[in-house]
Amino acid sequence: MSLPLVTRRAAQSEFDDAIDWYERQRAGLGPAFAAAVRRVLNAIAAQPRLYAEVYQDAREAPVPKYPYCVYYRDEGTRVLILSVFHTSRDPAIWQGRV
């Protein structure tokens, strides 16, 4: 049974901005990135404890082939998506959302 995903507004904005950025780089790359992130989100929903805790109770799920990670919290009855984060940015940004 998959848990529902609840995405923070800031995380959704990061995701949308990244899709737009990739699409501007090359046509079709935006949807490819979005699909990769959605596969990670589906894995998180199916098995929220699959990925390691990396900061307090937040977990980190890397997005294969992209320099992004999804940071989230397993809240028992739902999963809270904290950030869709480019790994070159200052981690204090997503950590402030925990």
**Domains and their CATH numbers in the chain:** 5-95 (3.30.2310.20)
- Give residue 24's pLDDT: 98
- Residue 86 identity (one-letter amino acid): H
Q: Which two tokens stand for residue 50?
A: 């699959």
Task: Kindly report, residue by residue over 21-41, the tens digit of the pLDDT.
Answer: 999 999 999 999 999 999 999
- Give residue 1's pLDDT: 74
For residue 81, pLDDT beyond 80: yes
* 8 touches 82 (CB < 8 A): yes
- Percent of the chain at pLDDT exceeding 70: 100
Measured CA to CA, the distance from residue 85 to residue 89 in angstroms comes to: 8
pLDDT mean over 40-61: 97
For residue 90, pLDDT beyond 80: yes
Q: What is the pTM of this model?
A: 0.95
Q: Is 48 in a helix, a strand, or coil?
A: coil
For residue 76, pLDDT beyond 80: yes
For residue 4, pLDDT beyond 90: yes
